[in-house]
Amino acid sequence: MRLLLVEDENDIQSFLKRSLEEAGFEVEAAADGKTAQHLAVEPEFDSLIVDLGLPDMDGIDLIHKLRQSGVRAPVLILSARRSVDDRVRGLEHGGDDYLTKPFAMAELLARLRNLMKRNVSPGAEATKLRVLDLELDLLRREASRGGQILQLTQQEFVLLEYLCRNAGRVVTRSMILDKVWGMRFQPDTNVVDVHIYRLRSKVDGDGQTPLIRTMRGVGYVLKDR
């Protein structure tokens, strides 16, 4: 997996590069828009990480320029701005994602993997989702485990569907808040955790193999093997 990291702050660039490489990515780094444009021309990257505040151009303009020159890889935007403006939201609708600084590395990795997976297989047309012995009927809004129907609320079903769609990948609390509740911020109380506990008590009840795993300090993952 090849990544292009565009970040002008030396400190941040170096730790990001190291962390990403440790996570198994091959990383090319650029400190400004010009270098990034130059690097992005040739071998295709699987994903791009772009900081908005570049010394020579605006990050959004860079993304538009790269898109025009044929770069199709998904972009994860890093923004130091507290309120993310409409242009970034526009990009988000185009399939890209954004993170505001400072961020947890785990969050970045989770979103990055999510982005690239989304890029490979959309799989949104499926009417049934199956993860091990867990089955979700998206038309009838029914979930069952080992043939046993689970009594889920509407909200719990949406939450479980999101976990299933990302089975095997870590989803963070802020990703869950964003995708299930449509909220781009982290409340200081961990309201999401309680939802997960409730869901887990229904999905992983009665001595079954636990499917929903907590990744401490990061988020949750639905086991797929």
Partner 1 sequence: MSSKTVKGPIRSAAWRISLWATLAFACGTLLAFALLHRFVASDIQRRSDAWLSGEVEVLGDVAERTPKDALYGRVVGEVAELAAREVPNKTADETGASDSVFFLQEGADGSLSLWVGSGSGAATLQAVQFANISPDHPTDVQVQGFSIPFRVATARIKDGSRIYLGLSERDQLRVLRSLRNRFILIWLLLVLLGFALVFFTTRGMLSHVRRITEAASRIGHSDLTERVPTTERHDEVSQLAHTLNGMLERIENSVHQLHTITGSLAHDLQSPLTAIRGKLEMSLSETADGEHSEPIVSAIEELDRLTDFLNMSLDVAEAKADALRLSRTAIDLNELIRVMTDLYEPSMSEKGVSVEFQSDGPVRVNADAALIHRMVANLLGNELNHLPSRCTVSIFLRVQGETAIMRLEDDGPGFDSDVLVHLFERRVKGRASSGHGLGMAFVDAVVRAHGGSVTAGNRSLGGAWISVTLPLEPAYEPAKVRSN
Distance CA 38, CA 35 (A): 5
User: Cα torsion for 176, 153, 214, 128, to the nearest 10°?
Assistant: -80
Using CB under 8 A, pick the residue from 65, 67, 184, 200 that binds partner 1. 184
Placement of tokens 């609320």 in the chain: 153
Distance CA 48, CA 72 (A): 10
Question: What minimum distance in Å lies between the beta carbon of 19 and partner 1?
Answer: 6
Using CB under 8 A, pick the residue from 169, 198, 202, 213 that binds partner 1. 198
Measure CA 213 to chain center: 17
**How many other CB atoms are found less than 10 A from the CB of residue 51?**
23
41 interacts with partner 1 by CB under 8 A = no
Using CB under 8 A, pick the residue from 1, 39, 57, 104 that binds partner 1. 104
**How many other CB atoms are found less than 10 A from the CB of residue 149?**
11
With respect to partner 1, which residue has the nearer C-beta, 94 or 122?
94
Using CB under 8 A, pick the residue from 42, 70, 82, 121 that binds partner 1. 82
Using CB under 8 A, pick the residue from 1, 9, 37, 65 that binds partner 1. 9
- Contact of 38 with 67, CB cutoff 8 Å: no
86 interacts with partner 1 by CB under 8 A = yes
| Site residues, partner 1 (CB under 8 A) | 9, 11-12, 15-16, 18-19, 22, 53, 80-86, 89, 101-106, 155, 177, 181-192, 194-195, 197-198, 217
